[in-house]
Amino acid sequence: MIDVTQLLLLAAILSLTVTLAVVGYQVFHILKEVRLTLRKVDRILDDVGAVTTDVRRPIHVASSLASGLEFVTKIVDMVKKDVEPKPQIETQRMTSVVEPMMVEETTDSIDEFVSDDVMPPHITRVQSQGRRFFFKKKNV
C-alpha cells in the first residue's frame, strides 16, 4: 500500500512538474516576445540608418558646394590681381658709367620716370638712397 511518505513525495513531484510546465510555457512566450521586439528594433535601426544616409548626403553636398565656392573666390581674386593694370616703370640702360655727364643725365631721367604716387613710399625711399649711393657726383 501507499504510505504517507510516498503520498507526500508524489504530491511534491506532481506540483513541481506542473509548476515547471507552467514556467516553461511562460518562458517560451517571453522568448517569442523578445524575438518580435528584436525584429522591431532591427527595423527601427535600419530606418535610422536610411535617415542618416539621407541627411548626410545633403550636408556633404553643401560642404562640397561651400569648398567649391571658396575655391572659385580664390581664383577670382587671383584673376583680379592679374587683370588690374600694373604701373609701368620704364628704365633706361646706361651705356657708359665712366663719363660723369652720362651719370648725371641718367639720374635726372630716372627721377622723371619714377613718381611718388605710383610707387609705395618705402620703395621710393630705398630707391632714392640707392641712386644717391651709386650715382654720386664725382669731383674730378
Domain identity same for 72 and 134? no
User: To the nearest whole percent, how much of the chain has pLDDT over 90?
Assistant: 30
Same domain, 77 and 103: no
Q: What is the tens place of the pLDDT at every residue in 48-59? A: 888 888 888 888
Range 135-140 contact pairs with CB under 8 angstroms and sequence separation of 24 or more: 135/103, 135/104, 135/106, 135/107, 137/100, 137/103, 137/104, 138/100, 138/103, 140/100
What is the average pLDDT across 16-43? 96
Statement to judge: residues 99 and 137 lie in one domain:
yes
Which of 38, 59, 84 finishes a domain?
84
Tens-digit pLDDT profile for residues 84-108: 665 666 555 554 444 444 444 444 4
Checking 92-95 for CB contacts under 8 A at 24+ apart, the result is none
Asked which of 84, 112, 131 is the last residue of a domain, the reply is 84
Residues 6 or more apart whose Cβ sits within 8 Å of residue 109: 92
> Do residues 115 and 129 make contact, with C-beta atoms less than 8 angstroms apart?
no
Do 134 and 123 lie in a common domain? Answer: yes
Task: Please check whether residues 51 and 69 belong to one and the same domain.
Answer: yes
pTM: 0.38
Co-location of 17 and 67 in the same domain: yes
Among candidate residues 67, 115, 60, 112, the one with its CA nearest the CA of residue 87: 115
Is the domain of 63 the same as that of 93? no
